[in-house]
Amino acid sequence: MLDPIHLIRADRDVVERAAAHLRGLAIADGYAGWPGQHLAFGLAAVLDEIARHVRDLDHDLRARIVQACRGLLGEAAPLN
């Protein structure tokens, strides 16, 4: 079992990867001529801020955010 510091780092990594994924999608959509990339960039910026402060979040809130980010990445939650 991971200690709390490693769990926080793992959660931060998931949120950071989700933000990077959104930026990548926005860039690809921009090249394809789709409007609205600013929405994806905005959400990515919010996720970047959440990642910076993930250790300060309530445990249940952090778990829901990480779950949503895993969904965005198409990943299954790890089994405990």
For the stretch 2-54, pLDDT in tens is: 788 999 999 999 999 999 999 999 999 888 888 888 899 999 999 999 999 99
Domains of the chain: total:
1
69 confidence band (pLDDT: 50, 70, 90)? very high
Spell out the alpha helix ranges (H) of the chain. 4-32, 37-52, 59-73
In a domain, 46, yes or no: yes
Residue 33 in any domain: the answer is yes
User: Is 79 among the domain residues?
Assistant: no
Q: What are the angstrom distances between the C-alpha of 42 and each of 1, 2, 12, 53, 72? A: 35, 32, 18, 17, 15
Residue 80, domain member (yes or no): no
- Sign of CA pseudo-dihedral 60, 64, 65, 66: positive
Q: Assess if residue 36 is contained within a domain.
A: yes
Q: Is residue 48 part of a domain?
A: yes
Query: Residue 42 is part of which domain span?
Result: 4-73
